[in-house]
Structures are given as structure tokens and as C-alpha cells.
Structure 1
Amino acid sequence: MARFPSFQKIIDNTLSTISRFPLETVTTVLGTIMAIYLSEEHSGPMEKIYLKTLLCCSLCLALFLSITLYFSRDLKNNALRFGSSIILGSIIVLFVFNFSNPIKTYEIYQFLALNLGLHLLVSFAAFIHKKYDPEAFWEFNKQLFLRILTAGLYSMVIYAGLSFALLAINLLFEIKFYDKIYVHLFLIIAGIFNTLFFLTGVPETNDSKAPLALNYPIGLKKFTQYVLVPLISIYLVILLSYELKIIATFSLPIGWVSNLILVFAVFGILSLLLIYPIAKDVENVWIRTFHKWFYYLLVPLLGLLFWAILYRIDLYGFTHERYFVFALALWLSLLTAYFIFKKNPEIKFIPITMCVIALLTIIGPQSADSVSKRSQLNRFKEYIVDNKKTKLTYKEEQDLSSIIEFINDHYGIEALAPLSLKINQLAKKDKEPSSFAIMEALGYKYRRSYRGATEAEEPIYYHYYNNDDGGIAEIKGYDFAFELNNNNNYTCKNCVQWSNKPYSINYTSTDYGVALKINDDVIPIKINNFIKTTATFKAKNNNKKITQRIITSKYELLLQYESVTINYRENETTIDAFNIKTLLKIKK
């Protein structure tokens, strides 16, 4: 008969976990608090600090756990353990808080690579100073893996149960809770409970009374043998058949085949790790065959992988995504060579090598950021510095546009300014110009990716998202505010009063934009020309505020553009729609 643990035992286990992992517990609680604050802060001044602190906690949790496991053999080294944790943790804090505001894409890649490396470090940190025992190493990581799954299951069930309990209290007793209670409940369970539950199950690696002994679950064997390995074998047949097809037809591999090979290889290696203790058993013929031939069959797929990624690197240079695909291809090649030629290969080689490669991709001349930046700047030089042609083809303009967009999005115009006098002059006028503006400064036209020379350019949609609460905006310094749009004409006769004088306001659409009439005065507002000549409208994912000021002898207008739709028809740029908030000041 199953017995439920007593409340006192739960408390004792929790206190024991906190005592064993004090820094990890503090980091978990701090990270959860930051996540709760972050859920409440929307575009506020503290949002960036909360986010970066949360990222630090995520990294430091894995780091502190790795250090604890490393020093677990000698409890007398607590001072060294805490000292090294604080020093390395401080380096991580400096690293994360050096990220841009907002955090850029390449910095997200750096965070993910470091997070992966630190989590892999957890898998072998306790065995760095010990004689290699494959069964103990496998058992330790099996227990970690199952504990992660169990912690996730418990967390989901507890969250669902407590959420329904809160809902029942609300419906039955009409007790109102604050709006974010379900979000905060999720963060507390996922952050604090889930982590402490996992830490409670981290096995001891230096307990002489209860050493790690291999215990292979029968359920894991059946899942791997009858589900995972057959599925991977099917994908192997498909990929090998595709490789034979492109060899027979002398065609180039499609781009996403690289991702498919990587996914297949990673899940294949995971399967090998799961079946490792029983891989050589005589009765498991299917598993033994898969274990013996997997790396040999991976060789032709690695050739296809290198062919696909190197072809694209040769055409378009390195980007962060291509760099990581190439790095994984190198890692898989190293792994394949090791397991084919090593007489008695050790499975700890897998996480150790992947951890090292992940850390190498973060900083240094060989990092993803350095290689990608250097590659794209060299390609930019080929077009602007080394190229003597005064005119580029459509395809070349398209390629140059993608280069400029990559560099501008990741590193800003400062990276390009030293290479071009025209861009340097633009940088003095605009610190954050769009890729459109940079291409125009160079004398070329911006071409969007994946558009053919004979295809019409895709429409451009500009929208300014106003974060003002309630949509209330101040019009200090102006007398009236109204909307301009191209959907209909507007007439308002004697609808406003200023200095005891009535004013009629109406406007009609024209070929140049809008003809605004205030009483008997007509003000031509040349909206179309302003939109066509302002490159900021055409920037990718642009949310910059764009304004236009018009001054006459009697009036002053401030146009705040809220949305614009730009289309291209038969090499003509047309303005299909616009919505403009207009502030009007009547001069005395």
C-alpha cells in the first residue's frame, strides 16, 4: 500500500535541499521574484534590469549547481566552493548586463550558447576528478533526466489544481482576486517549487553507503526499442534516399535539409545514450545493430550536411545561424570519428565536447558574433570598397541590401561608417538610420529578400504603436487635434471656437495628399512626397515615431504618422492608405 510522505518529512527534505544547495536556492527565489516583477512591468524604466537579472539567475543556477557537484567530494572546501561561485557568478552578471538595450539577436544567441554549455557542465562536473565509471556516469544523468520530467509533471498538476481551486473560490464565494494571480502562481510553481523539487532529487556522487548503481528501467528500454529507434531508422532511410537522389540528378541540396540532418543526428545520439547499458546485450539484436552502425551511416549524411551549409556560406557568407549549423557539423564529425576509431569510447565525451564548443562560440575571434560580423563586413567591402562598378544589378542590390540589413540590425551604422564616406556623413545626421536610408545614401535602391527582378515589390506597412495608457496624449502648445486619412473627405462647419471666433475645418484627398481648408485658407499637405522621400517608413519592423511639420503665416501643423501602407505597381510607388494625427496651432 502506497504511503504519502508526512508534512514533517516534506519540510525536512526541503530544508536538507536548501542546506545542500544554498546559492542555488537564493538564485531560484531571486529569479522568480524578477519574473513576477517583469510580468507587472510593461515598457517601464525597470523592465531591462528585471529581464537581465532574470537571465543572470538562469545562468548562475546552472553554474552554481555545477560547482556544487564538482566540490561534492570534499565538504571541507566550502570556502573555495562559495568563493569560486561568487567570482564566476560576478563574471556572468557583468557579461549579461553588458547586453544592449533592447537585447539584440546575437546577444540572445550568446545567452543560449552559454546556458547550453553550463547545463552540459552539470552532466559531468561531478566526474571531472574521478576515475571514469560509465555505469555511474550513465545512472547519474538518467536520474537527472527523469527528475526533470517528474518535476515538470508535478508542477503542471499542482498548477492546474491550484488554478481550479482559485477559480472555484471566485465562482462559489464571489471572492475577487487580482488580475495577475494565475501568472504569479505559475511563476512561483515553475520557478521555486519545480527547481527545489528537481534539486531534491540530484543524486549524491560520493556516498559510500549508497553508491550510484546501474538501474535500467524496463519502460525506457521498451520506449527506445519500439518507438524511438524505429522512428530514427525511418528518417535515416529518407535522408539517405534523398542524398542518392541529388547525386543521381546532380542537383543542389535544399536549404532546410541541414536542419533535418542535425535534428536526426541529435535524436540519434540521444537514443544511443538511452540504450547504452543494454546496447551490447545478445538478446537485443535490433538495438545492438543500431548501436553498431549508427555512426558509420552518419558519415554520408555529414557529407550532405557540409555540402549544404558550405554552399550557402560561399554564396552569402557567415551569419549567426549558419555559424551554429557549421559548428554543429564540426562537432558531429568529431563525434563520429571518435566513436568509429576509438577502441573503447566513453560516453562522457559527448557532453564534454559539446560544452567546450558551446563556450567557444560565445566570445573571441572564433565566436559566432566575430566570425559573422567579419564575414558580412568583408562582403560589404567587396561591393563598396573593392567594386569599381557604378551600377549594380537587381540581384546585387538585393544581396547588398541583405548585408546592410544584417550589419545595421546587429551592430548599427557605426560598423559601416569607417568603410564609406557617404555612410559616415549619414551617421552624423542620423544615429539610427534604416537599411533603406543607408542604401539610398550609397546611391542604390533597397531590395527586399526573396523577390525576383520581375516581381513587384511587396507592400510596406508602417505602424506606430503608441504606448500611452488609455490613448490620452498631451497637445501642449497646440489648440486642436484631429485625424487625417485617405479613406474619406471630412467637413466640419463652425465646429470649434478659438478667441471667440468660429472655425470650419475640412479636407479632401488629392493626388499629392490632402488639401486642408481652415475657414477660407487652403493648406496643401504633400503627404505622398513626404512618405516616398522618408526612408524611415520603409525600415524593417519599424516603430519609430515619424512627424512632419508645416508652417504658414497663420497656422502651424504637426503631423504625427500613425499608419501608412506603401505599394509598388508597374515600377511606381503608390500610397494606398495613411492615418495621421494632426495638431493645429493658430498663430496670434
Structure 2
Amino acid sequence: MRISNLTTRLTKALESSIRRFPLTVLSAFATCITIIIMIEQKRDPSLTLQRLTMIFALSIPITLSFKLMWEKTGRDLKQLLIYYLTSIILIIGYYFIFLNKIDYISTSRFIGTNLIFYLVFLFIPYFLNRENFEMYSIKIFTGFFITAIYTAVLFFGLSAILFTIDSLLGIKVESETYIETWFVCLFIFAVNYFLSLVPKKENTFTKFDFPRAFNILLNYIVIPLLSAYTIILYIYFFKIIITQNWPKGLVSHLVLWYSFITILVVFFIHPIKEDVKIAYYFTKIITKIIIPLIIMMFFSMGIRINAYGVTEPRYYVIVAGIWILFVFIYWNITKQPKNTLIPSTLALTIFISLFTPLSSFSISRYSQNKRFENLLIKNNMLKDGKIQKNPNTNKDDQRKINSIISYFETRQGIDKLKYVPKDFNSSKMNEVFGFNYEAPYFPKEQYFYYRIAPNSLIDIKGYEYFIQLNSYSQEVQNSKEFSFKYYNSNSEIAIFKDNKEVYRKNIKDIIQSAYKKYGTFRPDIELKIEELSLVDENETLKVKIILNNVSGRVDDNEDIRVDGCDFLIMYSFKK
């Protein structure tokens, strides 16, 4: 009986979504069909099929948004036809103007346009003055998560059935069938079920509809976690200020996602903040103390841009940071904020970033061209607007020029790069620049491995004690009198006598000279003992340390990190 009731309820929900959003349901169905066709072809799909799949997928939020616009403004059938016709014209126009080819720019715009119309779908029913937008958004998000759970259960259930058919009945089920099943669950079931949960215009919400479970989750779990994370971020930034050591690319990620999550939390708790003390004080404090962190993020990105110019990812970080800063300033200066401005201004920001003269593509193209021009002038390679060969260009500038060439070839198109001949490509680097093209490779870390020859004869003359250790046995007590400890965090060895430290040394001092001579990963080379050893002494001990083998990583700043090592320690006490 319960299964029967659930089936009836799901059937009615699906029927309701089809009646209310027919074009959206049709778009989802078309997307599913074209994806399955691409999977079944088992080869690279044609450009036309890829474009059709993308435009059908984009049609889902576009038709959905236009239908909600009609529901907001009126119920006239003629007006509905105008809205539908407008959405269809927009879809066709986008297909021929922005999807005439598929490359980095068209794909970025496709993703951004989807985000814009999903945001429009979210705020349009409550734009501009309707109250309790936050409660409506909670209803939408709740519906999304319920749909996700149902879809996952349905997919795993169908997959179990297919697996059973394959395993027990001997009917071969191809691996592609599981993928196709997922897309059917996603575009046929999930889209239809979610649409059935979208509130109608006549549905109203108050703060008393705030879900109890959501209240507990935000106020007693998420807010304490965010508060702790804020403290850690401040400690981290104070450390950066003191050491003046800015980690590459890490700061923006730490702050950006944290800020987005904070905006969502403050947005959701807005209806109950006057009734719940935790929510009230969190909102009051976090909207102020987060601003210095955002400014620090701008400073960090400024260092990167000054060194490497603007690229699309850096542009998006800066623009996202500006939008985030705007939201928090708005919350601080407005006593009764209209939170529909949050998704609407975000949609506007995405539009500016993708489709205007201030887009990420335009700004990045200008920045990289300017950087390219400066490099040419610096190396006396630009005369009367034409590139002059210079085989003596230093290696660092060669790498920078190669990086810019690669950027334009993979993202903007080489025809957008100034000064190069019309038929230029990277294969003609030597002909045009006087040096060969090398595809840029930007590893965060490079690996090294050094060892001495096995069975090497070791001279222990002049030392009283001898012990062999490794970095995995971090603490060794080889007698009641002596003990040894290796600190993984900073690659230091310490010797203790009667539990009192009598010697400490960082083995990076040994590795540094080998790295300067041999560079990174060289497993085929066996080093001499002298090249991986160090003789040292202090007021208490005379010590010799020999590294049998050592592996680790070196970052862009040539800072060494040891992953593992085996080493010998010989020592004697001074009389």
C-alpha cells in the first residue's frame, strides 16, 4: 500500500511538472537523447551533435526562467506564447552566434550562461519587492536535495538490476548502459521531479516555515565550524604578514570558497536571525571581520597578476572577490537588505565577465599582449612593429614568451596575439624568435632521489658509536643512555643522552649540495659517499651523517621537502 501511494504521488508530481513546464521537460528529454546518441556512437561525436546537446541543456534553465516570468506577470495565454517565442528565439540565436564552434571561450560562455539563467530562475518570482525570498530559496534548495537523494537511489537500484541481469542471467550489459541509465535518471526523472517541487506564485512562506533540521544544521554545526575556520584564517594571515611568504594560488582558494559559503549561511539564517542569538551575533560579526580577509585575497592576487599578467581564472577570482565584497558592504550599510539582489547581482556579474568589452577574455587578451610586448622590448626583439630574432634571449624570458604563445594557442587563438606573422604557429618559433618552442610545464613540485652505491665501504675511524636509522622509525632508543629522533615536519635529526638533547641537525643541508649538482629525479646515478654526507661538531659531540638514500620534492622556490630517507649516524663525545 505504501509503495502504491508513493508511486501514485510520484506519477502525479511528474504529470504536474509536464503540464506546468512543457518546454523545459522537452528540453531535458532532448538533452538526454543526444547524450545517449553520442555514447552509442563510441567515437568522437560530430560538432553538430555536440552543439545540439549543449543548446538543449541550455534550453532547460532558459525556458524555465521565461515560464516563471510569465507566472509572475500574468496568466494571459497570448502573453505566454510571446514568452515561449522569445525563449525559442533566444535559444536559436545563442546556437548560431555563440556555439558556432566549441572552444575554450564558447565552453566558458556556455557554463556561465547556464549559471545566469539558473540564478534568474531562483530570484525572478520574488524580484524585486516580494518578502521572504530566503524562505522560498530554502524550499528550492530542499527540493533539490530531495531530488538528488531520490535520483541516486533510483540509479543505484536500476544499476543493481542491470548487474544482476548480467551476472545471473548471462545477458551481457555493456558498461555504456550504466552511463546511459544515469543520464536517463538525471534528465528524465530528476528534472521532472524537481520541477514538481517548484513553488507556485500563490504559495506563500513565513519565517515560521523555517525547517527545524535546517535550523539545527546551520546554527549549531555550520556556524561554529565557520567561526573556527575564520580564527584559523586570521592566524594564517598573521603568519603570512610576519614571514612575508605568500603561498602561490592558495590564499584565493582559502578565502573565496569560504566567503561563498558564508554568504549562503548568512542568507539562509536571515529570516530567523532576530529570534536566534547565535544567528544574530554571527551575522553581525562575520559580515565585518570577513572584509579584511577579502582585501588580503586581493593583495595576494595582485602579486600573481603583477608577475604573470591577467588570465581568465585570475580575472574570475578578482571579479568574484569584488562581488563578495559588495555583498558584505551592502549587508553592513543596509538595515533591511533586499536579498534578491544577491543572485541578481551575481547573474549580472557573470554576464559582464563573459559578454561585454570588460569580459575575462578581453581583459586577459589585453594583459597578455601587453606582457608579450614588454618582453619583446626588454630583449630588443621589437622594431617597427615587427619581431626581430634574438637567440640570446635569457632562458627565463624564453619560458615566459613560450607560456604566452601557449596561452593564445589554447585559449584565445594565435591570431589574437600582436606582432606575430599571420601564418604563425608554435612550430615556427625558431624562424620568428630565434629559439625553439617548448611547451610550458608548470609542476608545483619536482621530485628527486639520491643514493650511494650499495655495499659502499664506510670509514668509521675516529667515532665511538654507529647507528643506522630511517625516517619511518622516527624515534629509536638503542640503549638506556642514548636515543635518537627524526622530525618529519622539518627533516631534523636529534641525538639525546639521558633524555637530554645534545645534538640537532637538518639533513636538508646535505641534500642541498647534491640538488645543485644533479638536479631533480636521477635514479640511475649512484653518488659518492662524500656527496651525501656531512661532518659536524658542537661543544659536546663530533658527528658524521651519511644518507644511504633520500627522496623528496623541490617546489618552484627551490625549497626542499624530504619524503623519506635512510641514514647512518656516527658520533663520539669530546673529551
Q: What TM-score, normalized by structure 1, do the two folds share?
A: 0.69
- Matches of 1:24 and 1:450, distance apart in 2: 43
| Residue correspondence of structure 1 range 524-535 to structure 2 within 5 A | none
Task: Give 1:95-244 correspondences, 5 Å limit.
Answer: 95-100=97-102, 103-104=103-104, 106-128=105-127, 131-133=129-131, 135=132, 137-177=133-173, 180-205=176-201, 207=202, 210-214=203-207, 215-244=209-238
Task: Describe the shift of the 1:7–1:297 C-alpha distance in structure 2 as closer, same or farther (beyond 3 A).
Answer: closer
Cα distance change of structure 1 residues 180 and 251 upon mapping to structure 2, 3 Å threshold: closer
Task: Tell me how far 1:196 sits from its aligned partner.
Answer: 0.2
Q: Name 1:264's counterpart in structure 2.
A: 258
Task: Give the secondary-structure state (helix, strand or coil) at the position aligned to 1:84.
Answer: helix
Cα displacement (A) at 1:346 = 1.8
Asked whether the equivalents of residues 64 and 121 of structure 2 are also in contact (C-alpha less than 8 Å), the reply is yes
Matches within 5 A, 1:59-458: 59-73=58-72, 74-76=74-76, 77-100=79-102, 103-104=103-104, 106-128=105-127, 131-133=129-131, 135=132, 137-177=133-173, 180-205=176-201, 207=202, 210-214=203-207, 215-252=209-246, 254-281=248-275, 284-384=276-376, 387-388=379-380, 390=390, 391-416=392-417, 419-420=419-420, 423-424=421-422, 427=424, 433-434=425-426, 437-438=428-429, 441-446=432-437, 448-450=440-442
- 3-state SS of paired residue (2:217): helix
Q: How does 1:500-579 map to 2 (within 5 A)?
A: none
Distance 1:263 1:396 in 2: 34
Gaps of 5+ in 2: 382-389, 449-516, 525-575
Task: Provide the secondary structure at the position in 2 that maps to 1:180.
Answer: helix
C-alpha RMSD of matched pairs (Å):
2.8
Tell me the CA shift for residue 348 of structure 1.
1.4
- 3-state SS of 1:75 partner: coil
Q: Deviations over 1:55-87 (max 9, x none)?
A: 212221111111111110312121222122112
Q: Deviations over 1:281-329 (max 9, x none)?
A: 1xx3322211111111111101101101112112211101101001111
Residues 3 and 33 (structure 1), Cα distance of their counterparts in 2 relative to 1, 3 Å cut: closer
1:369: how far off? 0.9
Counterpart CA distance in 1 for 2:120 and 2:349 is 12
Q: Is the contact between residue 273 and residue 279 of structure 2 (CA under 8 Å) also seen in structure 1?
A: yes
* Residues 110, 361 of structure 1: 8 Å contact kept: no
- Contact 1:120/1:351 (CA < 8 Å) preserved in 2? yes
Does structure 2 retain, via aligned residues, the 8 Å contact 1:71–1:126? no
1:417-438 residue CA offsets vs partner (Å, 9 max, x unmatched): x513xx44x63xxxxx33x642
How far 1:178 sits from its partner (Å)? Answer: 5.1
- Distance, in Å, in 1 between the alignment partners of 2:443 and 2:12 is 64
Offset, 1:17: 1.6
Cα distance, 1:376 vs. partner?
A: 0.7
SS of residue matched to 2:356:
coil
Give me the whole-angstrom Cα distance separating, in 2, the residues matched to 1:7 and 1:252: 57
How far the C-alpha of 1:446 sits from its partner, in A, is 4.0
1:121–1:351 contact (8 Å) kept in structure 2: yes
Q: 1:393 to 1:141 in 2, by over 3 A?
A: same
Change (3 A) 1:388 1:451: farther
Q: Deviations over 1:229-276 (max 9, x none)?
A: 122112211111122222233444542111110011011111112222
Q: CA deviation at 1:127?
A: 2.1
How is 1:478-489 mapped onto 2 (pairs within 5 angstroms)? none
TM-fit CA distance, 1:179? 5.2
Q: In the TM superposition, what is the alpha-carbon distance from 1:371 to its structure 2 partner?
A: 0.9
Matched residue SS, 1:361: helix
Alpha-carbon shift at residue 439 of structure 1 (Å): 5.4
Distance (Å, rounded) in 2 between the aligned partners of 1:396 and 1:314? 15
Is 1:456–1:570's contact at 8 Å kept on the other side of the alignment? no
CA distances 1:456-477 after superposition (whole Å, capped 9, x unpaired): 99xxxxxxxxxxxxxxxxxxxx
Q: Are the equivalent residues in 1 in contact too, given 2:361–2:412 (CA < 8 A)? A: no
**% identity of equivalent residues:** 25
Deviations 1:518-537 (A, max 9, x none): xxxxxxxxxxxxxxxxxxxx
1:151–1:194 Cα contact (<8 Å) kept: yes
Structure 1 residue 12: Cα displacement: 3.9
Aligned-partner SS, 2:354: coil
Counterparts of 1:3 and 1:278 in 2: how far apart (Å)?
37
Structure-2 change in CA distance of 1:440 and 1:218 (3 Å): farther
Is the partner of 2:355 in helix, strand or coil? coil
Distance 1:62 1:349 in 2: 19
Paired with 1:320 and 1:386, the residues of 2 have a C-alpha distance of 25
Deviation at 1:200, TM superposition (A): 0.7
CA distance in 2, matches of 1:442, 1:225: 61
Partner of 1:17: 17
Q: Deviations over 1:400-455 (max 9, x none)?
A: 11111111222333233x513xx44x63xxxxx33x64256311344545589xx9
Change (3 A) 1:456 1:343: closer
Q: Structure 1 residue 379: deviation in Å?
A: 1.3
1:36 is aligned to 36
User: Is the contact made by 1:69 and 1:126 (CA closer than 8 Å) also made in structure 2?
Assistant: yes
Change (3 A) 1:213 1:340: closer
Q: Is the contact made by 1:401 and 1:439 (CA closer than 8 Å) also made in structure 2?
A: no
Instruction: Decide whether the 8 Å contact of 2:163 with 2:173 is kept in 1.
Output: no
Q: Secondary structure at the match of 2:93?
A: helix
Distance 1:81 1:171, change over 3 A: same
2:395 is aligned with what amino acid? Y
Matches within 5 A, 1:49-64: 49-64=48-63
Contact conserved, 1:27 with 1:57, CA < 8 A, in 2? yes
Shift, 1:3, TM fit: 7.7
Q: Which runs of 5+ in 1 are unaligned?
A: 428-432, 458-568, 577-588
Residue identity in the other structure for 2:157: G
| 1:147 positional shift | 1.0
Comparing 2-11 with 288-297, greater Cα deviation is found at 2-11
**Is the Cα contact below 8 Å between 1:59 and 1:92 reproduced in 2?**
no
Q: CA deviation at 1:22?
A: 0.9
Equivalent residues of 1:339, 1:345 under 8 A apart: yes
CA 145–9 in structure 1, closer or farther in 2 if over 3 Å, else same: closer
Q: Deviations over 1:105-160 (max 9, x none)?
A: x33322222221111111111123x6331x2x122211111111111111111111
What letter is aligned with 1:47? S
Q: Counterpart amino acid of 2:393?
A: L
State the alpha-carbon separation in 2 of the partners of residues 132 and 181 from structure 1: 46
Q: How many residues in Structure 1 have an aligned counterpart in Structure 2?
A: 437
